[in-house]
Amino acid sequence: MAKLLTTASFVTQSSPATPSSGYSTLYASGSSLYYKNSSGVNYDLSIVGSSSIQVYTSSADWTKPANLQYIKVVCAGGGGGGGSGRINPIGTRGGGGGGAGSNINIAYFSSQSLTGTTYSVRVGGGGPGATRTSSTGLTNGSNGVTGISSSFSTGSTVLLWGGGGPGGGAGIGGAAGGTNTAPSTANTPNPYPPFYYSGVNGAAGSTGAIPTPAENALSGTRTLAGGGAGGSLSPTPIAYNGGSGSAIYNYNILVQSGSPSLSSSGLPGDNGAPVIDIASLLFYSGSNITTGVRIGTGGHGGGGGGTTAVGPSGGSGGSGSLGAGGGGGGAAVTSSVGNPIQNGGGGNGGNGFIIIFEYY
């Protein structure tokens, strides 16, 4: 990626073919821009005062460049998968819980502290959503899977990590949403290094009411979105829509995209959408720097299935965007005899990522 020139100053003389001594001079040579101070020392401005952003959405190695001053590393694990809904001829039929957004760790490393040449960048995958099942009788849902952590390391030494978001709970009788817990042990690599941002928790499923949507990310924070819960079926039965996944802030503007599945439709909730450039995680206020890689909203919940044994199956949850949790699956009703019907499966959590911002 091309370097970004962030400072250029000291222009006191036009550029001669051969810069004279005793003057401060800004001049070009080949494809580089140089500053020569009054002592005759040359500085390559295409390196000094510039920066470069590397975004990794899959595992690779990072090689320490020459002339590096320090790096800023952002590690985020995979989002949690959504839980699946319950199938039940009578009684409670809970939708699956939404998966939680992954956790972000941010740290700075000086060039002097990076004594090696090559470093390992390992990007964690999103947690799979609970698989859909088919049944003619009572079948409980299943839990979604926790996302895999991402890490930046040298040899066997982990320098920084970002934990995966926990998976959403099974739709039995009020499924729990995936819930993040901040690291607290000293032997965890850089638990607070010093910037730790816990992902938004997934929404909890319900058994007889409209599912609560996942909480939105907080304004001014670097938090990744959680998934919405799957729609339930009350004992009556009445089917309910799925819950919304988290919206996410672009600095101070809340952005949402997509919607949960409608009840009795058997359709999945929408996937989380990539709506904000990932460079927003590097700055506290607006920036015109873009990378082309985007983070976004949590997966939306699937709707509860039809209210009779011949009605549609429960809708599956949508998948989370990068680092976000998947939506929970909808519940379903079926008689103890007759054709089998499916519950809604959980949406997959979004894969993790690592950003390395190089300063020269």
Residue 286 has pLDDT above 70, yes or no: no
Q: How far apart are CA 14 and CA 142, in angstroms?
A: 71
Q: What confidence score (pLDDT) does residue 220 get?
A: 61
pLDDT of residue 5: 46
Cβ-in-10-Å burial (0-12, 13-18, 19+) of 314 comes to: buried
pLDDT tens by residue, 295-354: 989 999 988 888 776 678 889 999 999 999 899 888 887 755 567 888 899 999 999 999
pLDDT one-digit tens code per residue, 214-265: 888 766 667 888 999 998 888 777 888 898 999 888 777 888 888 998 888 8
The predicted structure's pLDDT at residue 12: 41
pLDDT tens, 88-118? 877 777 889 999 999 988 888 989 999 999 9
Q: CA 185, 187, 193: angle at the middle one, nearest 5? A: 80
Q: Is the pLDDT of residue 16 over 50?
A: no
Confidence at residue 11, expressed as pLDDT on a 0 to 100 scale:
41
Please provide the average confidence, as pLDDT, over all residues in the chain. 81
Run of H or E including 53? strand 50-56
Kindly report, residue by residue over 158-197, the tens digit of the pLDDT.
999 899 999 998 887 667 888 877 655 444 444 445 577 8
